[in-house]
Amino acid sequence: MTQTFRFATLQLKRRLPPSVVSTAEAALFEASFDSSKISFPPEAVIKPRKEADIGVVLALANRHRVPVTVRGRGTTLMGSAAPVRGGWVIDMLALNRIAIDAQAGMAHVQCGAKVGDLQRAAEAEGWFYPPDPSSKEYCTIGGNIACNAGGMHGGKYGVTRDFVLALRGFLASGDYVEWGTATKKFSAGFNLRDLWIGSEGMLGVVTGAVLKLIPLPPARWTLLTSFRDETAALRSALELFRRRVQPAICEFLDRESVVCAERAARTTVFPGQAGRPLILIELAGGAAEVREQKALVLGWAKEHATAFRAARNRTEAEALWAVRRKCSGAMFELGDSKLNEDIVVPMRSYLKFIRFLAALKRRSGLPIPTFGHIADGNLHVNIMYHRANPGEMRAAEAAVNELMRTVVDLGGAISGEHGIGLAKSPFLRVQHRAAQVKAMRAVKDALDPRGILNPGKMFEPVRIWKYPKLAIHLPWDHK
């Protein structure tokens, strides 16, 4: 710890209650890593009980140039919550109030609240908050806002950004700000609310949000379909979308994903058709809307799928979900490490992309099970390798480079929901022209002139897979 940091930490301890600031070794270790499992110990961890505490922390940090990393639950896979430059970590988990305005259809939340808790609170009032990352029982609203998190509902309902009406929090200087109000319309001045969404803790600390809710869909229907191969599956999905069907969920699993998941679930989804690519469809909405769309989907399945099965109730629907839920963890039978790339491909490029992926698997010699949300083009491409095998590490690095360049060439994105952090920092310039990166840096410099907020991320290319990983198991591993 430098003299300046030590002095600043002493000042911090004087300004805040003793229970809020910790320099205990166990607390520093807990805050040193996220789901990337790469550890950078901070000098102090701050667990604010009042939002105003954060203003105090930032004003001091800014004065003494102490790096500050904000932390929700640390579920990011991108290394974006790891304090690479040390300094202070602000842990948001104690700021977790949720209040539902059932008349306006809005949720007033503090940013340490968990997404799953928000969804349950909304549903208890007949409302629905659609963004649903698979990590929702762990991750926070603040983390979702900072990463613009998505999930399976993205195709029909959108992502976190589409539900944020207003934000409040603190600038790097410690000044309190509010972007927007609890209204559905707001057109007064520059929209810095949207600038904070997806800014990965680098432009300010979000303490609270007003989120839009939609009426809880009364009807749901689930169908699982299988196809001869990936090309047939994606070509058929495109036909489904052409017929104006808008599933609430539309999940694709390629053959490698299905083989692993069926083995893990000790089941064959469609007897005699083991290991075929699958598409899982869930319709949601009013009873009449679901009835109408169901007829279209069944007609489509009869024409295109090699097999299909519809759920007659929620228990049967859960059974259809079993393979999808297993696939992320099951693929570790193919390697002890994965590069989980949440790329986006425009629909018009699906078939080109699937040909590219088959060629990439052949060229790299690595398993690359792929699954994801095909109603919005957000596919999870999982490059599997063994850390102890240098040849496989090199092949994985080459494969990820090729993947990133290809998705951008196809008009897509290097990240649909996880953000950049450390892991995707080498590819920021693949996605963005020099002038675009320069504009982003200018925004960063304007809002955080001393560079204290989450430094070392996004703009500075780091090859994250070269760092040693902690050998620990996190509660959400393989979910």
Selected binder of ligand FAD within 62, 80, 236, 257 (CB under 6 A): 80
Kindly state the DSSP code that residue 95 receives in the 8-state scheme: -
Nearer to ligand FAD, 74 or 275 (CB): 74
Q: Per rule CB under 6 A, is residue 71 in the interface with ligand FAD?
A: yes
Nearer to ligand FAD, 135 or 406 (CB): 135
Instruction: Look up residue 323 and give its two tokens.
Output: 């393979």
In the complex, minimum distance from the CB of residue 157 to ligand FAD, in angstroms, rounded to a whole number: 13
Nearer to ligand FAD, 273 or 451 (CB): 451
Q: Which span (12-20, 64-72, 216-224, 407-415) binds ligand FAD, by CB under 6 A?
A: 64-72
Instruction: Specify the length of the chain in residues.
Output: 479
335, burial (CB in 10 Å: exposed 0-12, middle 13-18, buried 19+)? buried
Q: Per rule CB under 6 A, is residue 50 in the interface with ligand FAD?
A: no
Q: Can you say how many angstroms the Cα of residue 65 is from the centroid of all Cα atoms in its chain?
A: 30
Q: Per rule CB under 6 A, is residue 200 in the interface with ligand FAD?
A: yes
Residue 457: HSE in the Cβ half-sphere, 13 Å Cα cutoff: 26
Q: Determine the Cα–Cα distance for residues 253 and 282; give it in Å rounded to an integer.
A: 15
The Cα-based distances of 393 to 3, 196, 302, 385, 399 in angstroms read 40, 35, 43, 7, 10
| 265-303 burial code (b ≥16 CB/10 A, e <16) | beeebbeeeebbbbbbbbbbbeeeebeebbeebeebbee
Nearer to ligand FAD, 205 or 258 (CB): 205
Contact 183, 252 (CB under 8 A): no
Per-residue binding string, ligand FAD, 134-153, x by CB under 6 A, is xx---xx-xxx-xx-xxx--
Selected binder of ligand FAD within 22, 36, 39, 75 (CB under 6 A): 75
Selected binder of ligand FAD within 418, 447, 455, 458 (CB under 6 A): 418
Selected binder of ligand FAD within 9, 35, 226, 425 (CB under 6 A): 35
Q: Per rule CB under 6 A, is residue 251 in the interface with ligand FAD?
A: no
Q: Per rule CB under 6 A, is residue 31 in the interface with ligand FAD?
A: no
Q: Per rule CB under 6 A, is residue 225 in the interface with ligand FAD?
A: no
Q: Per rule CB under 6 A, is residue 74 in the interface with ligand FAD?
A: yes
Residue 164, beta-bridge partner list: 211
Q: Determine the Cα–Cα distance for residues 176 and 169; give it in Å rounded to an integer.
A: 6
In the complex, minimum distance from the CB of residue 231 to ligand FAD, in angstroms, rounded to a whole number: 25
Contact 107, 210 (CB under 8 A): yes
The single-letter code of the amino acid at 151 is: G
Q: Determine the Cα–Cα distance for residues 182 and 355; give it in Å rounded to an integer.
A: 47
In the complex, minimum distance from the CB of residue 301 to ligand FAD, in angstroms, rounded to a whole number: 26
Nearer to ligand FAD, 75 or 364 (CB): 75
Interaction site with ligand FAD (CB under 6 A): 34-35, 69-77, 80-81, 92, 111, 133-135, 139-140, 142-144, 146-147, 149-151, 200-201, 205-206, 417-418, 454, 476, 479
